[in-house]
Structure 1
Amino acid sequence: MTDLAHDYLDLDGLFTTEELELRDRVRAFVQERIRPHIAEWYENAQFSREIAREMGKAGLLGMHLSGYGCAGRSAVEYGLAAMELEAGDSGLRTFVSVQGSLAMSAIHKFGSEDHKQRWLPGMAAGELIGCFGLTEPGAGSDPSSMTTHAERVDDGWVLRGAKRWIGLATIADVAVIWAKTDEGEGAASIRGFLVPADTPGFSATAIEPKLGMRASIQAEITLTDVRLPADAVLPDARGLRGPFSCLNEARYGIMWGAMGAARDAYEDALAYALERRQFGVPIAAFQLTQQKLVDMVLEIQKGILVALQTGRLKDAGTLRPQQISLGKLNNVREAIAICREARTVLGGNGITLDHSPLRHANNLESVRTYEGTDEVHTLIMGAAITGIPAFSAGPPS
């Protein structure tokens, strides 16, 4: 196995010493704390609560945020961490994303100073867990059609409704819940609320069984006459701009993470191909196997370049939301193809949890769906290219 097998274009030369040091620390963390256990966690549909605290100690939670115990790392550093975590498992990277890019970002961007002081230090340490309630049983790609409603009463608010596919909800200490109010019309009426999980009327039920993301938690939330004080509302979030800005943080991390899963699947397949012998030679000697490995390398290297350029734009403050869609759409789609192809190199052994590609492929089906489906990101890009939004079923007005 040559150096070109791992970094064909010497992409490491595009990163700073500090960026590479952080990447290597996260890689070592994954090697020590995730890889030895991930097959068991996946098979048993188990999320390790202790790993959350360890990630907090490692500075991985809300690492792209500043203050309140957060590490204040760059976008590229956060991306590298996401890539290494997802090389371990999408479920563990998803935890970091839900905690940091969604729940913590919402509080950091839109919360009051009291909100930030109350929740962010504990969340950064992994001592408190947050979740982000936007998707509903009948409202996924079109969050403006949500039916969860917040009614203003004399002493605060009353929330009623349901949310679905909410990561971490069953173990969360606080939920960021997005709901329509009577203040404004349509999407403009949407506000964000901080709901402590022990509030009467708040309940969360895990969605089981699942075929992917088994080392992670997704749940359905029910809100039955949940009474909140007046200051539970996020003061600086009105309309869909609030939740969408958080989703873009998560989408950004996904484009990096998907390449971690793809890289891990490729490296598993490569090692196997060099060791497994058929017809008297390693299967890596066969032309068809080499073609598969080459195709994987091509897309992994290109995907990392896409993620890196997006990260540099983000750090420079010039990244446009529409540009994030390119990376999310391309990198997840290619990562699934890579993982499936890597499984074919492994033959029948590839359907066991002794190897990672099929586990990654199953996980990535969820990653492909959440934070915007392929179709949604295609239409975001289409609108950016043509200037014509095409999200409705009918012709453009």
Structure 2
Amino acid sequence: MFTRLIISALVSFILVHGYAQLQIQTIPINSAAIDDQLNLLVYQPDSYETSEKSYPVLYVLDGQWFFYNGVGIQETLRGENVMPEMLVVGIDFKNRSFRDSLLQVNWSGVLKLVNEEVPRLIHDRYRSANEQVLFGWEQNASLACQSILIKDTPFQGAVISNGGSVDGEVITNYATNETDTKYLFVANSKNDIYTRASTEDLVNHLKQFQPSGIKWKYQSFDEEVHESLPYVSLYQGLRFFYHNYSAYIISDTRDFFDEGGMPALKQYFKERGERFGLDTEINNSTKNMLIWLAWKQDDFRSFDYFMKEFEEVLSTSRYASAYWQSRLGTYYYTNEAYQKAINHFDIGITNYPDPEYLAQMYQYRGHAHLQLGHQKEGRLDLKKADELRSLCKETEG
């Protein structure tokens, strides 16, 4: 099912953009490391020609099969605003027999090709950023995994599918600066009888040695088979790598507190900002979302908490209307927080005297005053509400 969704997204992408409109170049590379010539397929995002910025790079091993998947998935994810635009580079290993033979007789040469020669060529010809991700399948999964465990690797992340085993010594010898985090996404399926053991071997090594500076995740997609898994793996792997690129999203206030509450939220934005050059402070859309979510779930305790924590957001243009002040005041009144209800009705009546909400705000404010024992203020507000309703009826008549 998941693979069908991915393929559907790719087909839609191709139909909308058309191959002719994609900015794709074929670049030959004469590799000293493998003593042979290969082709690189290079995709430039739409904005490349009109901007001066540098772009992250997705390198796709076995580009002869998976390059267009990388392009389509990257475009689909970017459309959801969960990752930035990227250059996509497919390393074309021609066919299975050529690839398998090359890896068997010259593993170290391919490792040098992937980690040195190709990134250097791309950096020389394109505006590539330091943020680079490598995808590998089958034997190239092991090569991709070993690549991010090499000291001074150009890659910040690897997505590996249907394989990935590396010698335990490679993991134990891995050393990195604590601030230089790498991401590793490992995928397989119980149905892949060919490579499952290799992946399990890698996962066991990662659990045993816990390499410093590597954030890794293993996921088994048991509805997939050997041939379909790389599509899903690449999609989910990119989402894992860019897990904190998008705005903070949560579907239940209980999850907010279970996952660490306000300290965790502040840390999320701090790490996100430092990693991607974005604002490190909690943005207003997140504050509004949490307030709205608590109100929608009728979780008054969380609502009141967020209103206190995010008090400054209430002075933004979003809440500059009788509609919002009446809505907030009414919710406070319903939950017997009468003084807070009065505060919002005061703002609504004074600053936004919209006839559509004015009588209602006077009425609720009057009842709130009465609940607090403010008899005079309460009676005056209720009288004003009646007068406004009478005036409205006369106008309609």
TM-score (norm 1): 0.28
TM-score (norm 2): 0.28
Radius of gyration: which is bigger?
2
